[in-house]
C-alpha cells in the first residue's frame, strides 16, 4: 500500500522556497565575477511602468492629472519636478517643463508641447551617493482617454530611455547582459528588482532580450554555460553587476527536490530524506 503524507501548511513550503531562492549561497571558494556595465541610451522603453505623480484634491498621491486644474506641478521618479500646463491652442495637449538640471526649479527649462499619445525625451541629471552624476534620458508620454461614462483621464508616463549593459563571460560562453531601471528613478537597486523581470540575458546572441528564458528576476537562480549563478549586487549608477556561483540548483520535472526540512502543524520535523521513494500529496 502506498503511503500518503498530507502537508496542510503550504505556506511553510513557500517560505522555504522563498528562502532558497532569495538567500544568496555562494559556492565554496567564493568565486565571483564583477561585470562592468555601460549605459546604453538608445534603448527605447516598451513597458510604461512609472508615471509622474500629482497631489489630488484629497491630498493623496495620484498618477492621473487632477481634473479642472490647468497648471500644476507634478513629481517624476527620483524627485524630479515637472510642470504641466494645459495649452490654450489645442483641446487636449499640454506644455511640459522638466527640471533637468536638478535645481528644483522649472521656470528656465525647455517647454515641450505634447498632444495625446505623443512623447518627448528629456535628459535629466542624476546623482549618486558616491558623488558621481550624469544626465540620463527619459521618455515622457502623454496619454488621454475618456468615453461616454467617464471623465477625461490624463496620465504622463515616465520611462527610462536607457539600460545598463555588459558582457557576461563564463567558461567558453559570452552573452549580452542588461539591467533595466524599471521605476525610472536613475538608481539601479532593489526597487527595480522588486518590480519584475529587470535582468536581460541574450542567450541566443541575437542582440535582443526575448521570452521567459532571457528575461530574468534578479533573485532567481541563473543557469548559464554549465554553472548556476546568483546576482550578488549591482552598483546604483549601473556601472557594474556582480555574479556569484551557487550550490543551489533549479528543480526539474522528474529530478530530485533540493534537501529541505519543515515543521508540521503538530510540531514534528520532517526531513526530505524521509520522504524519498514514497508518494506524497500536497493538500492546499
Ligand atoms: Ca531647473
Ligand atoms: Ca530604479
Ligand atoms: Ca536574445
The DSSP code sequence of the chain is: -----EE--HHHHHHHHHHHHHS--BPTT--EEEEE-EEETTPPP-S--EE-BEE-TTS-EESBPPTT-SEEEEEETTTEEEEEEE-SSSSSEEEEEE-TTSSS--TTSPPEEEETT-EEEEEEEEE-TTS-EEEEEEEEEEEEEEETTEEEEEEEEEEES-EEEEEEEETTEEEEEEE--TT-SS--SHHHHHTS--EEE-TT-SSS--STTTEE-TTS-EEETTEEEEEEEE-TTSSEEEEEEBS-----TTSPPPP-EEE-TTS-EEEHHHHTTS--EE--
Q: Is residue 223 part of a domain?
A: yes
Q: Is residue 65 part of a domain?
A: yes
- Of all residues in the chain, the percent with pLDDT exceeding 70 is 89
Residue 212 and residue 181 share a domain? yes
What is the value of pTM for the model shown?
A: 0.80
CA of 279 to the centre of ligand 2 (A): 45
Residue 143 and residue 56 share a domain? yes
Residue 265 and residue 127 share a domain? no
| 149-168 confidence digits (pLDDT tens) | 888 899 999 999 999 999 99
CA of 63 to the centre of ligand 1 (A): 22
Residue 219 and residue 121 share a domain? no
Q: Which of 114, 138, 160 delimits the end of a domain?
A: 160
Q: Is residue 284 part of a domain?
A: no
Note down the domain range covering 109: 50-160
Residue 213 and residue 120 share a domain? no
CA of 46 to the centre of ligand 3 (A): 16
Q: Nearest bound ligand to CA 122? A: 1
| 85-99 confidence digits (pLDDT tens) | 999 887 789 999 999
The mean per-residue pLDDT over the stretch 224-245 comes to 95
Residue 156 and residue 168 share a domain? no
Residue 253 and residue 243 share a domain? no
CA of 123 to the centre of ligand 3 (A): 28
Domain count, the chain: 3
**Average model confidence (pLDDT) across the chain:** 87
Q: Is residue 45 part of a domain?
A: no
Residue 191 and residue 55 share a domain? no
Q: Is residue 17 part of a domain?
A: yes
Residue 108 and residue 7 share a domain? no
Q: Is residue 118 part of a domain?
A: yes
Confidence grade of residue 222 (pLDDT, cut at 50, 70, 90): very high
Q: Is residue 79 part of a domain?
A: yes
Q: Nearest bound ligand to CA 162? A: 2
Residue 155 and residue 66 share a domain? yes
Q: Is residue 67 part of a domain?
A: yes
Residue 181 and residue 114 share a domain? no
Ranges 69-78, 149-158, 240-249, most confident: 69-78
Amino acid at each position: 500500500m502506498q503511503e500518503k503524507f498530507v502537508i496542510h501548511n503550504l505556506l511553510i513550503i513557500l517560505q522555504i522556497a522563498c528562502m532558497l531562492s532569495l538567500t544568496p549561497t555562494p559556492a565554496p571558494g567564493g568565486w565571483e565575477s564583477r561585470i562592468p556595465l555601460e549605459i546604453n541610451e538608445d534603448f527605447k522603453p516598451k513597458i510604461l511602468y512609472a508615471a509622474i505623480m500629482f497631489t489630488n484634491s484629497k491630498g493623496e498621491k495620484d498618477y492621473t492629472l487632477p481634473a479642472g486644474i490647468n497648471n500644476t506641478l507634478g513629481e517624476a521618479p527620483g524627485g524630479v519636478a515637472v510642470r504641466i500646463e494645459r495649452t490654450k491652442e489645442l483641446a487636449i495637449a499640454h506644455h511640459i517643463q522638466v527640471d533637468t538640471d536638478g535645481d528644483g526649479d522649472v521656470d528656465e527649462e525647455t517647454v515641450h508641447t505634447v498632444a495625446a499619445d505623443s512623447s518627448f525625451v528629456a535628459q535629466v541629471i542624476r546623482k549618486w551617493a558616491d558623488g558621481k552624476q550624469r544626465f540620463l534620458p527619459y521618455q515622457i508620454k502623454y496619454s488621454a482617454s475618456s468615453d461616454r461614462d467617464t471623465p477625461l483621464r490624463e496620465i504622463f508616463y515616465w520611462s527610462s530611455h536607457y539600460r545598463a549593459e555588459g558582457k557576461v563571460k563564463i567558461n567558453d560562453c559570452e552573452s549580452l547582459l542588461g539591467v533595466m531601471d524599471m521605476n525610472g528613478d536613475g538608481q539601479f537597486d532593489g526597487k527595480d528588482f522588486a518590480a519584475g523581470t529587470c535582468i536581460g540575458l541574450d542567450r541566443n546572441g541575437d542582440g535582443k532580450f526575448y521570452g521567459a528564458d532571457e528575461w530574468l528576476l534578479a533573485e532567481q537562480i541563473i543557469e548559464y554555460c554549465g554553472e548556476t549563478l546568483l546576482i550578488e549586487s549591482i552598483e546604483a549608477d549601473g556601472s557594474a553587476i556582480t555574479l556569484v556561483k551557487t550550490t543551489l540548483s533549479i528543480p526539474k520535472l522528474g529530478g530530485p527536490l533540493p534537501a529541505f526540512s519543515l515543521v508540521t502543524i503538530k510540531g514534528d520535523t520532517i526531513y526530505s530524506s524521509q520522504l524519498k521513494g514514497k508518494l506524497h500529496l500536497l493538500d492546499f
